[in-house]
Structure 1
């Protein structure tokens, strides 16, 4: 089977980009371990909304029951005193609602962001752990920048989903429901007038949601391209400068960067159109309420306090709707990121091999290739019906032109890839039957392209493997004659190596690679 399984994974993701209920349930499964915290958060939201919605009602009671009495010269002094006392009590209650709303809001925000960060850490760790388990075939055909985007940008976008969207939706729905109940309890006709405006808002929001979804998927795709170009160009900066390709590379990056700018401009344009439409509906609603409510007040049907409360409530009624509208941006972006993350998590992990254990004494070293066929890409055969054998203790060199398959043979021997046809035997056993971890631990490989990590010389040789001691590292360095230059370093084995070993020569990097293999 050719190794093209993961090609154009971003394109496959785009074709199946609409998240389904299964994807959403999978996302929220990360939040279920913290259900107690979310219950507490929702209770605090209910308290916050409850005391906040009580404030216009308290104002209405002060106007109708107290201020109207204080402004009426025909009332007695005793009635004025009672009205002042009642107004003071209601004012103190109003102040208490402000304090309670502040405390509950602070507690809710603190718990929410703390819980959201814990969920985000778990998602990011699960994604990274899964990437570590993917086969080499995947990394051959999948851009590094796209992986970086998923682990960083996409997971961070999900943070908004847990820390903003859920609470906004819950708070907005509770607020809308509470306002509707209170308005109908005060005056049914005015409340019905306010509710008539709702269908217009729903229609505008539905159209906006459909349009903005496409923009978000395109943005994520282009952002992955930007990260890919950054990763490739920074890693190959020496090549770019040697061949003086700065201008060409800059132009290529600018092309992708401009595409992202165009998509962001479209997003701003759609959003800038959507919000004013809602504002127009709200303004018309307030104007109509003032006209209708004003006539009812002049006719003595409702009090001025009720009219004031309704104007306050209709503004509060539109506020959660506007908040829900703003969350559409976050929801669409989060849904895009959710699908991209789980699409990556669903990629098949590397086969862990068979159940045959490598003997404690190690492999004897007899290797046989029997009629092996292999291709990285379909019908582009690198090895065609290759057969050979090597006895234990033999030194064998593979000589051939570039691309003849010399490195491929080592890759197949370590099972970085699986062959398409034929069989590879080690000590008479098919390598697919060996436990993969034990097989790779039994094969020493010095990579053609040496990769060094940021860290000390000691860490780069031992790779923090628990079975490799300090003594093993020093002995391995002496065997390959790497200790000669290591001892000349200012901190010797504790000397820090920059990313990819840029502070060392090619020969020094190669010696560390030899020592790394021997130390294992």
Structure 2
């Protein structure tokens, strides 16, 4: 079984991906160029502080013979001589202590600035990447959303971009800093005493073996942790959104047991991961202590024979303890690098997704926007040659209302999606006011349309924000006029704050009917030439439907309308009804014409639904006649 790409980890370093990532640093190269020498200076001053310890011991605390002074101690003595002679031990220790404190203050300042520069750069890069990703998501065709889970796209914008931020601020930077420290320590070790330096490096092969063991096992468990976490997320997303069904069918205990098993697998692999870390850290500490023990054994012997100063021995002990830190740090950062490279691959996969629906280089535009629609021998399939529409042809004159009816999967919604060019046809043409939709500028084409869906989309914000959707040319007067026209103004003003009332996520505090009225008001505020009603009254009660239907009739005045029919209250008044069956047009005409056909599909459906609806008309709660019967499966 292939893994979802959220669970796959690649190489810890991929030159191709790294080169592309570094391109995002180009606008901020000045910040990076300033941070790099700060990193080198920080490492240099830290090493200099270690050397000051050696100089303090050799020059003032336990001074050996001058010929046995280390390189840095001799250099420090020369500086004192040039400044007027070597001070007394008390003064010398005070001076070197002050210098040490001063160096640490400089290291503090350098560390602060490099952190601000690099982490700030990481934030800028994250900002740019998220902007680019979101812009790409807005331009991708609906076919991409058909095959890609929303959770995966959210992960691209959040977790994956965060992983790349860690790469910039901790990954590459830490590696650079660690390399500088390692090289610097080795240089000073060999300058002080090359024999003792070689002895101190005897444990490096053992250190490399421990690190390799940890890296292999930590990589495996890290991958499995991500896999099990992905399974937890998938399970939670599915079952929390379907909690009503779980409770309805008394599945709580069964689903709890299923979650418990998934959760337990995640716990066990995390405990295994903890085991490797629990072994790795003490092992590195033990190996480093073995190195220090070798330094004390061999260096102590040299110090006793006078071949090595005590200051140099203390320097070696301190330097060896500092030497193992970068090696341990590099091992820890391996998974960060690996996760970041995998995240980069996933992010760039989205950014490289081809834009199959784009505006032409030289778009066309009708001289007059009338709202005429024409389908000419249209064939369409979402995949391969599994045709959803087969040789569909019809024409809707400006200002007419056409209704599409038929069973689920007949191709009704596909027709409206093709109109707005969410997909492109494989054969044939779709014309708006005589111009092929593929020749329009996409933004201009979609300004033609207003859409009211069965479940309208509302966003967090205010009522006014949801009606205006950021359009700067729609003022408050026009907004309120549109709301009054569809009879939404009354309920809006009853809300706390009126048009400035807060709308919760997905309009959770509003009824379905209220959301439909807002969707109609929004459509009217944008004044589209073509209105698409996709089962706009399918999910509301009969009383609310009357209100919505009255609003629809007001909105339809002077506009072309395409209705995906569910209730006959809309279908019967349409100028033309198109009956779809398995992607083909089987019948076309007015309600009266289609009902008059003895063996017509529409007549049979109408008769069937009318018979089913008649008892409902006699038993409505209000005692009033029910609305017109329903059309099946539209």
Does residue 501 of structure 2 align to residue 495 of structure 1?
yes
Residue in structure 2 matched with residue 22 of structure 1 by the alignment: 16
Q: Matched residue of 1:419: which SS?
A: coil
CA deviation profile, 1:4-42 (whole Å, cap 9, x unmatched): xxxx99449949777631211111222222222222222
Distance 1:43-1:500 versus aligned 2 partners, 3 A rule: same
Q: Secondary structure at the match of 1:446?
A: strand
Secondary structure at 2:521's aligned position in 1? helix
For 1:97, the equivalent position in structure 2 comes to 103
List per-residue Cα deviations over 1:430-484 (Å, max 9, x = no partner): 2212222111111222122211111111111111112322222222222222223
Once residues 473 and 86 of structure 2 are traced to their aligned partners in structure 1, the CA distance between those partners, rounded to angstroms, is 88
Unaligned runs of 5+ in 1: 1-7, 71-78
* Secondary structure, counterpart of 1:397 in structure 2: strand
Question: Could you list the per-position Cα deviations for residues 403-434 of structure 1 after superposition, in whole angstroms to 9, with x for gaps in the alignment?
Answer: 22211211111111222333323333322122
For 1:206 and 1:442, the matched residues in 2 are separated by: 63
Quick check: 128-137 or 194-203, which moved more?
194-203
1:66 aligns with 2:88: no
Is residue 116–residue 162 contact of structure 1 (8 Å, CA) maintained in 2? yes
Greater relative contact order (CA < 8 Å, ≥ 6 in sequence): 1
TM superposition shift of 1:258: 4.6
Instruction: Give, in whole Å, the separation in 1 of the partners of 2:3 and 2:139.
Output: 17
Q: Take 2:463 and 2:249, find their aligned partners in 1: how far apart are those partners?
A: 31
Deviation, structure 1 residue 360: 5.9
Tell me if structure 2 keeps the 8 A contact 1:69–1:83. Answer: no
Aligned residues: 504
Structure 2 partner of 1:368: 375
- When structure 1 is superposed on structure 2, of 203-212 and 32-41 the one drifting more is 203-212
Cα distance in 2 for partners of 1:19, 1:241 equals: 48
Aligned partners of 1:12 and 1:171: how far apart in 2? 30
Residue among 460, 466, 473 paired with 1:460: 466
CA RMSD of aligned residues (A): 3.0
The residue aligned with 2:444 is 438
Sort the Cα spacing of 1:514 and 1:356 in 2 relative to 1 into closer, same or farther, 3 A: same
User: Which secondary structure does the structure 2 equivalent of 1:424 belong to?
Assistant: strand
Alpha-carbon distance in 2 for matches of 1:59, 1:15: 45
Q: Deviations over 1:136-179 (max 9, x none)?
A: 11111111111112211121222222222233212211111111
Note the 1:252-401 alignment, pairs <5 A. 256-354=262-360, 355-359=362-366, 361-374=368-381, 376-378=382-384, 380-401=386-407
- CA-CA distance at 1:358 after TM superposition: 2.9
> Does the CA contact (< 8 Å) of 1:23 and 1:338 recur in 2?
yes
TM-score of the superposed pair, with normalisation by structure 2: 0.73
Q: TM-score, normalised by structure 1?
A: 0.87
1:18 and 1:382 mapped to 2: Cα distance?
45
1:143 & 1:483 partners in 2: Cα distance?
A: 37
1:54 is aligned to 2:48: yes
Uncovered stretches (5+) of structure 2, i.e. residues with no partner: 65-84, 527-634
Q: Give the deviation of 1:364 after TM superposition.
A: 3.8
Cα separation, 2, equivalents of 1:446 and 1:331:
47
The structure-2 alpha-carbon separation of the partners of 1:256 and 1:473, relative to structure 1 and needing over 3 Å to count, comes to farther
Matched with 1:187 is 193
Q: Secondary structure at the match of 1:444?
A: strand
From the two aligned structures, give the one with the greater helix fraction: 1
Q: Hey, what does 1:484 align to over in structure 2?
A: 490
Give, in whole Å, the separation in 2 of the partners of 1:50 and 1:21. 29
Aligned to 1:76: none
In 2 relative to 1, CA 508–381 (structure 1 residues): closer, same or farther, beyond 3 Å? Answer: same
